[in-house]
Amino acid sequence: MNVLKNLALAVLIAILITYSLGYAASDLLDIRLQLDSDFVEPVTSLILLVIVGVVLVMIGFAVALSVVAAIGFTIFAILGALVFAGLSSIWPILLGAIIIIWLLKDKKSNDSYS
């Protein structure tokens, strides 16, 4: 419940900041969005610019995730190759050690006293 309340507040604050900064920028910098030969209303132009910004953020997030995923997969593949190369070169030593341990371990005898 508390998380949803904080999320709702964060979204509301982000919307208010975006709206106020967009309105201030359009007034101070005289930024106007024009489609065909008509100027778009300030609120509509702000909404369009926010939508474009959100789409660009989503594209950037997808690219960042794909780059991170590619790097992670590459590191995983390299580590896996090193592990397999190491095991393939030392498997006779591991097999010998397993056989020696198997031969030297204590075996319990099943002596029965009558």
- The answer to whether 39 and 32 have CB atoms below 8 angstroms apart is yes
**What average pLDDT does the structure give for the chain?**
78
4-19 tens-digit pLDDT? 788 788 878 877 777 7
- Residues sharing a CB contact under 8 Å with residue 39, sequence separation 6 or more, in sequence order: 32, 33
Task: Report the interhelical angle of 2-28 vs 42-104 (nearest 10°).
Answer: 140
% of the chain surpassing 70 pLDDT: 81
Q: What does the block give as tokens for 28?
A: 């101070």
Between residues 30 and 60, which one has the greater pLDDT? 60
The per-residue pLDDT for range 39-76, each reduced to its tens digit, is: 767 667 677 777 877 788 788 888 888 888 889 899 99
CA 42 – CA 26 distance, rounded (Å): 7
pLDDT of residue 5: 82
What's this model's pTM, rounded to 2 decimal places?
0.42
Task: Quickly list DSSP for 19-41.
Answer: HHHHHHHHHHS----EETTEEPP
Predicted confidence (pLDDT) at residue 114 exceeds the cutoff of 60: no
Cα–Cα distances (Å) from 10 to 13, 17, 23, 24, in that order, read 5, 10, 20, 21
